Amino acid sequence: MRNRTALGELGKHLFILLILSMALFPLYVMISISGKSGAQFAGAPIAPTAPFHFGNYARAWGMVSNYVFNTIFVCVTSVALTFALTLNAAFFFARYRMPGHRFLWYFFLLLMLMPGIANLVPLFMLLRNLSLLNTFWALMLVYVTGGQVVQIYILRNFIEDIPQDLFDAAEVDGASALQQVYHIVMPMSGSILSTLGILQFIGLWNDYILPLIVMRDDHMLTMAVGLVRMDSEYVKDWGALMAGYTLASIPMVLIFFFTMRLFVKGLAAGAVKG
Amino acid sequence: MAKVTLENVWKLFPGGVVAVRDVNLEIEDREFVVLVGPSGCGKSTTLRMIAGLEDISRGTIHIDGRRVNDVPPKDRDIAMVFQNYALYPHMTVYKNMAFGLKLRGFPRAEIDARVREAAEILGIEELLERKPKALSGGQRQRVAVGRAIVRKPKAFLFDEPLSNLDAKMRVQMRAEISKLHHRLRSTMIYVTHDQVEAMTMGDRIVVMKDGLVQQVAPPLDIYHRPANLFVAGFIGSPPMNFFEGRIEARGGTLYYADAHRNLRLDESRARAAASHIGREVVIGIRPEDLEFAPDGDGNDSTRRLRAAVEVVELMGAETYLHLNSGSGVFIARVASGAAAKVGDAIAVDVRMDRAHLFDKATGAALG
């Protein structure tokens, strides 16, 4: 019985290692090539080689640094603005009733069914008419408005679960609606907000279509578009290209490591509440 | 001064639900008034309207002579203690108590002084840096009371604050709130469904049912002179015993009579019953007004009830006998040493000078 259990455990572990290897393999390839010269890459594209050419990273940084800063600025600002709006909107939907509130809510839910890609042409024309093309505001406005729907839906349900007594107590203590959002809702929904923030951040970080159609100048490009352009321009310098991709991944990895605890807590909180 | 006045106050909810009907109430400065009644009687809704957490459909509420119908809760100078404590879970006890003062822009030094003073009054100084989840129910309730005390409001509102506590803690907190009232000398409006809390804590009790005020009076007046059947049956534990019958006049004396009982009315009760001769009434007798009468001691049979013992509840200091006289069960509260066991046929004598008579149709007390 003990041998069969040990064999079973070994099988499970081997399976997990296989899945992990498949997930981590592209990462390994990227980092491995990032340290190769052209000759090393030609001789052994995937196998590790020596020496590791750190100079590729210096060259890559010159190429991608602008894209990194642009993307960080757009993503952080968009996430912050989205939170500022969705928290208040979700609070309104959860706590207040006015004529037509039900219609407004169902209208919001309807927006969740709308595929973003279907709006691309009218969106482009609208941004052009507003003279926002080739500006960061074009990206941020679209990200903020688009990111609200799901966040409002999730946050509204979360806020509804917060006991009414807490809001009553805050009201008696003298808190306005805005103060209730800031002092009660925000601290209590830390894990949910972290999860939503991380998910939105990742989505915006990787977004390709909107920056592609909105941005023209190279110095305005975000990461996703900039890296693809690099591929076209610097197609032979695989080492620098992969170093650029590695550098572009670092912010996301750092963010995830720092917020992983909150992210998992947020997912778990959602699971328990469900 | 912190006088609270309700004039013709109504609360209507969508769908035609009338939660509070035409409540008129004057709560004097420094008075401890208890609103008591069964669930759904409108007591919490009334309290919430005083607090400003519910809109008033009709009527007016004045606090200290100032009409507050449209005044938000934060400007009414009231503090509230909730049934579920409503402590902010992410804040320490200190921050929970300081929150209201911080929002009002009090200086840090004064906030600190008030919080520590309230903590000392409630005996929670060592809990100030803890979060609510690390506190027991009784400690949380004290923090909730402390959060109200620091505000030094004109009136304290309590919404069933002891409901979530165990019986022993409830007894302890009841005494502490009463002591607090004497110490702070503030107006307190207290909502409960527990008639023991109402009787032991209030200067006056407001008994409510179905949104209507049934009676407003000091506790002993409510107990000894209930205004109607509902109040008589709601206040008192074990509850008052009721029998339905008629008032009969025989030989110049009035009697209460039904199929199983024939009780001569005491002089004071006869005066009140004179208008109901021949009419149907309900007689109410409190369990402690039934005296265990061992057979053959020659007591007046016109106030005697014979019954079979169905249940004997030994309470320690006294005994409750559940008796069946053929027309339903009633309860007698007798001395703990009374010799009666299940199945025994016994007799109890009624203290007719303490019996209560009610009109059967309206439920109103006679006299």
The ipTM, to two decimals, is: 0.86
Q: How confident is the model at residue A269 (pLDDT cuts 50, 70, 90)?
A: low
A169 → closest Cβ in B78, B82, B90: B82
Q: Please report the sign of the dihedral spanned by the C-alpha atoms of residue B335, residue B337, residue B343, residue B344.
A: negative
B20 interfacial to chain A (CB closer than 8 Å)? no
Residues 6+ apart with CB under 8 A from B295: B346, B347
| CA A265 – CA B8 distance, rounded (Å) | 51
Phi, psi for B185 (deg, rounded to 5): 50, 50
Which chain B residues touch A191 with a CB distance below 8 Å?
none
Q: How far is CA B4 from CA A112, B62, B66, B86, B140, in A?
A: 50, 6, 9, 24, 28
Rounded to 5, what percent of chain B is helix, strand, coil? Answer: 30, 35, 35
Q: How confident is the model at residue A273 (pLDDT cuts 50, 70, 90)?
A: very low
- Identify the residue among A95, A98, A101, A172 best suited for mutation to test binding to B, counting B beta carbons within 10 A and taking the highest: A172
Note whether B14 contacts A: Cβ–Cβ < 8 A: no
Nearest CA-CA distance, residue A166 and chain B, Å: 5
Amino acid at B252: G
What predicted TM-score, i.e. pTM, was given to this entire model?
Answer: 0.82
Query: What pLDDT is recorded for position B297?
Result: 57
CB contact under 8 A, A183 and B53: no
Taking contacts as CB-CB distances below 8 angstroms, the residues of chain A near B103 are 173-175, 179
Q: pLDDT digit string (tens) for B59-88? A: 999 999 999 999 999 999 999 999 999 999
Where are the extended beta strands (E) located within chain A? none
> Across-strand partners of A10?
none
Contact A183 B88 (CB under 8 A): yes
pLDDT tens profile B264-275: 998 888 988 999
Distance (Å, whole) CA A179 – CA A161: 19
Distance from CA of B50 to the nearest CA of A (A): 11
- pLDDT score, position A142: 93
Instruction: Taking residues B52-57, report their average pLDDT.
Output: 95
CB contacts, 8 Å: B51 with chain A: 168, 172
pLDDT at A231: 72
Percent with pLDDT over 90 in chain A: 51
B208-264 residue pLDDT tens:
999 999 999 999 999 999 999 999 999 998 999 999 999 999 888 999 999 888 899
The alpha-carbon gap from A153 to the nearest alpha carbon of chain B, in Å, equals 24
Query: Which of A163, A166, A175 is opposite residue B103, by nearest beta carbon?
Result: A175
What residues have CB less than 8 Å from B307, skipping those under 6 apart?
Answer: B323, B324, B325, B326, B330, B345, B346, B347, B348
Q: Is residue B12 packed enough to be buried (19+ CB in 10 Å), middle (13-18) or exposed (0-12)?
A: middle
Mean pLDDT over the full length of chain A: 87
The two three-digit tokens of residue B58, written as one number: 């009709």
